[in-house]
Amino acid sequence: MSEAGKDKKPKKGKNKRKQNEQAPMTMKLRHEAGLATTTAGIWLPKEHQLYLQTILFWQAGDWQALANLDATTLKHHPRHIELISFKAAAHFQLGELDTARVLLRNLSGKHRSTIRILISGAFNTLARARTSLGHMEDARQHFDNASSADTIDHCQILIQARWCEQLAQAGVDSLWSQGNLSTSMPGFSVKTIRHVALGDAWAGNTVNTVIFRHHGIFTRNGWQYTAFYVDQNTLRVIQRNLKNDVLVQHDINGDYNIKDAHNSISLGMDRDGYLHISYDHHGSQLKYRRSQAPESIENWSNELAMTGQRETKVTYPAFLMPSEHAPLQLLYRDGNHQKGSAFIKQYNEVEQCWLDTDTAILSGATNHPWTSNAYWNHPVRDHDGNLHLSFVWRTHSIGEQQQINNLNICYAKSVDNGQSWHSSHMKPFQLPITQVNAR
């Protein structure tokens, strides 16, 4: 698990942006000084500004903007061969073949960067042709080849941005770009099998998609469940029937701090089929509800306490799904990012109540002369009901840049629902596990 950032107050200033706004980097030239500035106030040499501007146009697939760049200005740039090659490739994309050929003829000799840029452009043309024929999987493959053939490194966000731009130029519905495609990275590939539209959701940050959500979606007894924030006043729960794909939704109204990406939603289900939901936490009061009927999202309790103990500074609540011999449990952090402990609560279906464990599993709260906090990956319960947990230790930040400092990669296993824990060699830990005895 990683924390999106330290609890810092935003700096006051004129350039403060709302978190749900896009913040593209823009440049302003100061011709008299030969300098350029970004919106962050960083001054750049004019030549470097021109190079960055060209690269941004290329990565975004903005062929018209590239073609409009002044050839004479590019000619006097220290990296003129690469920049003119980008401009020529853009003219090819726009069908302006004669202009592109003239630009290339004016380059002396053959250059590796020019060849790679033109190959990238050729793959982009093939992708557009496949798109016009409706061959979207082939189009995406050609497009990925285009992104890997040129001379620059592409981040996945900009690759996706160019893909969407090319589809838009071809008049293809943007929904295809969002769902029915294969996202490829070196050594990693995910292919979407089906795309089920659930409606609009908050996308101003990653609060609906953070990596530590546990669980963000799960399947039980022929039903599939998920939940997300629509806006700051609406938490939507979705239930999908896997037999006929019928979707049921229910909105829980409230006042949610969705601008903090820590405040994600965790879903769970006990052995009697009741749903449990916890949400909107970052070192704050526990927020928790339970469904009023098994396998139903139609009616929910009001916000409830679990036990009332250690529930005022909750972060990262994660429901541990039950097994035949293990009840539903909740793993969460009590404390803050520099001084926290991991505790487990256990649900009793018969009494419909939660029980506390006496001792923390992980704790850096009492270390001296430093304090720390354990950050864990997704907890796992195996087929035998055993719990597995891997984690690192985060201390205070280091240096003027406040760099995050994570120590070690540790592991612990419990065969008795979290009452006791052992190392990978089945050596028992004295609880709580700390930086001193962790391994």
Q: Which of 207-211, 310-314, 360-364, 371-375 has the lowest mean pLDDT?
A: 371-375
Segment among 42-51, 67-76, 177-186, 307-316 with least mean pLDDT: 177-186
Burial of 93 (0-12, 13-18, 19+ CB in 10 A): buried
Over the stretch 192-239, which tens digit does the pLDDT of each residue have?
777 889 999 999 999 999 999 999 999 999 999 999 999 999 999 999
What do you get for the CA distance between the two ends of the chain, in Å?
17
Average pLDDT value for residue range 155-179: 56
Instruction: Answer whether residue 185 shows pLDDT above 90.
Output: no
Residue 389: predicted pLDDT:
96
User: What would the pLDDT profile of 73-103 be if each residue is shown by its tens digit?
Assistant: 888 888 888 889 999 989 998 889 999 899 9
Q: What is the pLDDT of residues 21-60, one digit of tens each?
A: 333 333 333 333 333 333 333 333 466 677 777 877 887 7
| Phi, psi for 66 (deg, rounded to 5) | -65, -45
More confident residue, 351 or 80: 351
Which pLDDT belongs to residue 347? 97
Q: Average pLDDT for residues 116-144, to the nearest whole number?
A: 83
CA atoms within 13 A on the CB side of 164: 12
pLDDT at residue 135 is higher than 50: yes
Name the residue ranges covered by the structural domains of the chain: 306-439
Q: Of residues 79 and 420, which shows the higher confidence score?
A: 420
d(CA 250, CA 128): 41
Q: pLDDT by residue (tens digit) across 269-300?
A: 999 999 999 999 999 999 999 999 999 999 99
Give the separation between CA 92 and CA 81, rounded to whole angstroms: 16
Determine if the pTM surpasses 0.75: no
Q: Which residues contact 269 (CB under 8 A, 6 or more apart)?
A: 218, 220, 225, 275, 276, 319, 321, 322, 328
Is the predicted pLDDT of residue 19 greater than 90, yes or no? no
* Tokens linked to 267: 């879903």
Confidence of residue 359 (pLDDT cuts 50, 70, 90): very high
